[in-house]
Chain A
Amino acid sequence: MPEHFVSDRLARRRLRHVKERIIEAILFLAASVSVATTIGIVVILVKESFVFFQTVSIWDFLTDTQWTPLFADAHYGILPLLSGTLVSSMVALLVAIPLGTIIAIYLSEFAPFTVREVSKPFLEMLGGVPTIVYGYFALLFVTPLLQTIFPGLPGFNLLSAGLVMGIMIIPYVSSVSEDAMRAVPMALREGSYAMGATRFQTAIRVVTPAAFSGIAAAYILGISRAVGETMILAVAAGMQPNLTWNPMEPAATITAYIVQVALGDLPHGSIGYQTIFAAGLTLALITLFFNVLGHVLRRRFRQAY
């Protein structure tokens, strides 16, 4: 073999090696964007909140019962926003958890093949409707409907926003729960049937307990969705901070407050501008807590079988 031919091939191979390395580096950079995003979120939220907490003490932030940052008599208590978030989430979960669980048990244990094949894409579509459309629906359809039942219900209220939000969350709860139930080995069901249990007894006493941590993870995913939901509440629950436990009243949530401020024109660096980052940090910490809890539960359910 001629000498130059060999060196030529060696050079080409070296070039190819360099190219491979460059591509790997580019792909690694693409993957690191997710880490950079997380760092970005933490840095931005903490940085702006830090400035905020130099003016307002953390104690006031957590205990003051008024949230009026844009008024002359400014109060910075997050409690009214938290109560709005909590009440609307509770209403949503009272809808989504029972219905989502029943749908999951039904689809996993009872439904004939065709019903399941049709329902799953349909539920997925239900979760794919933009939330602003649900907001419109809550304000202009559900609220008037509820007003015929409860005549004193105000035009903005947590109840109708929460109910619609609950419907929106059903697919999240039902699909994760169903996956957990279907991961339960067939042998458990067969054992139960062999003992003479009916389908319902097997579903409730064998499959559901066996899939428990997965179902709990689905609930937590639902909670985290409810807490972070924005547009339904901004449209249908009003934007007035209101420390209340009554779903029949209007109230702002953390997310609705951020929208309200963003719609106005607050100068960068003002205390009003910083409040949305403090509110956002609170929101991010709450959802982070639930996400971690859900992650731990899901990992447990994966290890089970």
Chain B
Amino acid sequence: MGAPTNIGEIRALIAAHKRWDVIFSVIGMAALMVGVLTFAALFIEMIVNGAERLSWDFFTNFPSRKPEQAGILSAWVGSTLVMIVTALVAVPLGVGAGVYLEEYAPRNWITDLIEINVTNLAGIPSIVYGLLALGLFIYGFGLGQSILTAGLTLALLILPVVIVATREAIRSIPGVIREGAYALGATKWQTTSDHILPYSLPGIMTGVIIGMARAIGETAPVITIGALTFIAFLPPAPVTEAFPFLSFEWIMSPFTVMPIQMFNWTSRPEAAFHHNAAAAGLVLVVMTLSMNALAIYLRYRLRKNIKW
């Protein structure tokens, strides 16, 4: 096997090798297109099947045995309430944990243990969180199959996302900011609350939005804790007519959420219910995608505007 010596052969060899660059570019674009086309097919399929069902009534009707009267009222109200609980739990805990790990934590085995746990929890299948909630929140603490249980479960599920986003946002703040604050006599918490947290807010927001988008689409853990698939009533209203005007009864109420409603309609044999499933899926996809898009936009703005 000898290397080609004649100039024509060498040129041909180089051309042959360079052809692979072009071929691979085409293959790469084709691979990307598989993703694009699948997404397009998914979206178009749901529009074709579900668009006719998207009317005002669809949002204000309870689920029903008659597919043309069924709506997602209890599902979207349930999803909203569960998301409120999830955000109220996950944001303080996640941001607190992120701040602790970046600003306070000493280098020791406890910190290592916490870090390993955060990494590992991010890789645990969501259904296992459902089993945790079933064993602990429902039968351990007796919280029942309630909005509170679902909110807590999803909060634990998205905690790693919020923690990682908080840490990354804090890590991008240069050390001179802290040193400047300390030099003026600020304590650690004053530095954190007056400088570190405000500057890392956009980054934290990005993580929270991505986490919430994930939580709103999660089905498996919510099914595992036994959310009902057919709910034809709303949880008690949070605002009451009598003193003290605020009621927290809704938090212990049975509920359903958007993905479960969609699952219920998808697994029915009648094609009429599949139209409802498509419409619910459309609402769900538009919700999660606009949340993701908002997060991506925030991150883009952040990268563009902040130059330390």
B35 at the interface (CB under 8 A from A): yes
Cα-based distance from A207 to B121 in the complex (angstroms): 31
Q: Does residue B60 face the partner (Cβ distance < 8 Å to A)?
A: no
Q: State A136–B275 Cα separation when bound (angstroms).
A: 11
Judge if A198 is at the interface, Cβ distance under 8 Å.
yes
Binds A, one of B61-69, B213-221, B245-253: B213-221
How many residue pairs, one in A and one in B, have C-beta atoms under 8 Å apart?
A: 268
For B263, list chain A residues within 8 Å (CB): 132, 135, 231, 234-235
The complex places the Cα of A291 from the Cα of B38 at a distance, in Å, of 28
Since A41-B132, A99-B35, A255-B125 are in contact, a sample of 14 more A-B pairs with Cβ atoms closer than 8 Å, ordered by chain A residue number, is: A27-B96, A27-B97, A27-B104, A28-B100, A30-B93, A44-B135, A125-B39, A125-B293, A130-B218, A131-B217, A132-B281, A235-B267, A262-B223, A295-B119
* B31 and A30 contact, CB distance less than 8 A: no
B173 at the interface (CB under 8 A from A): no
A178 → chain B closest CB, angstroms: 12
Q: Across the interface, which residues of A come within 8 angstroms of B54, CB to CB?
A: none
Do B28 and A106 touch (CB < 8 A)?
yes
Q: Which among A18-26, A58-66, A71-79 touches the partner chain?
A: A18-26
State whether A136 touches B262 (Cβ < 8 A): yes
* Contact with A203, one of B24, B125, B129, B226 (Cβ below 8 angstroms): B24
Q: Report A-chain residues with C-beta under 8 Å of the C-beta of B136.
A: 40, 44
B156 near A259 with CB under 8 A, answer no
Given known pairs A44-B132, A130-B284, A130-B288, the reply for A34 and B121 (CB within 8 Å) is yes
Question: Which of B119, B159, B274 interacts with A140 by CB under 8 Å?
Answer: B274
Is the beta-carbon distance between B281 and A31 smaller than 8 angstroms?
Answer: no
Task: Count residues on chain A whose CB falls below 8 Å from chain B CBs.
Answer: 86
Q: Is B308 an interface residue (CB 8 A)?
A: no
- Please choose the segment from B15-23, B80-88, B174-182, B231-239 that sits at the chain A interface, where 4 or more of its residues have CB less than 8 A away: B15-23
Give residues 24-56 of A contacting B (CB, 8 Å): 24, 26-35, 37-38, 40-41, 44-45, 47-48
B67-121 interface with A by 8 A CB criterion = 92-97, 99-101, 104-105, 113-114, 117-121
Cβ B127 vs Cβ A228 within 8 A:
yes
Given A31-B114, A32-B114, A34-B121, A133:B262 Cβ within 8 A: yes
CA distance A20 to B188 in the complex (A): 7
B257 to chain A, nearest CB (A): 10
- B25 to A231, Cβ gap below 8 A? no
Instruction: Indicate the member of A19, A37, A125 with the most B CB atoms within 10 Å.
Output: A37
Whether A287 and B266, one on each chain, are in contact in the complex, defined by CB atoms closer than 8 angstroms, is no
A210 at the interface (CB under 8 A from B): no
Whether B97 pairs with A123 at a CB distance below 8 angstroms is: no
Please give, as numbers and ranges, the residues of chain B lying within 8 Å of A167 by CB-CB distance.
34-35, 38
Given contacts A203-B24, A283-B125, contact A132 B288 (CB under 8 A): no
Inter-chain CA distance A197–B110, complex, in Å, is: 49
B residues less than 8 Å from A199 (CB atoms): 21
Q: Is B47 an interface residue (CB 8 A)?
A: no
> 20 pairs across A/B with beta carbons < 8 Å?
A20-B188, A27-B99, A30-B94, A34-B114, A37-B117, A38-B121, A126-B39, A131-B217, A133-B284, A135-B263, A167-B38, A170-B34, A200-B20, A228-B126, A235-B267, A255-B220, A258-B131, A262-B130, A291-B120, A295-B119
Q: Is the CB of A102 within 8 A of B28?
A: yes
Q: How far is the CA of A131 from the CA of B71 in the complex (A)?
A: 21
Complex interface: chain B residues within 8 A of A86 (CB): none
A110 to B289: give the CA distance in the assembly, Å.
28
A24 and B220 in contact, given A105-B28, A123-B35, A295-B119 (Cβ under 8 angstroms): no
Bitwise interface map of B from 276 to 308 toward A, beta carbon under 8 Å scored 1, else 0? 011001001100110011001000000000000
> With A140-B274, A280-B127 given, is the CB distance from A258 to B224 under 8 Å?
yes
Q: Is the CB of A133 within 8 A of B132?
A: no
B217 close to A130 (CB less than 8 A):
yes
Chain A contacts for B101, CB-based, 8 A: 31
Q: Which residue of A lies closest to B287 (CB)?
A: A130
Docked-complex contact B42 and A137, CB < 8 angstroms:
yes
Residue B254 lies at the interface, judged by CB distance under 8 Å to chain A: no
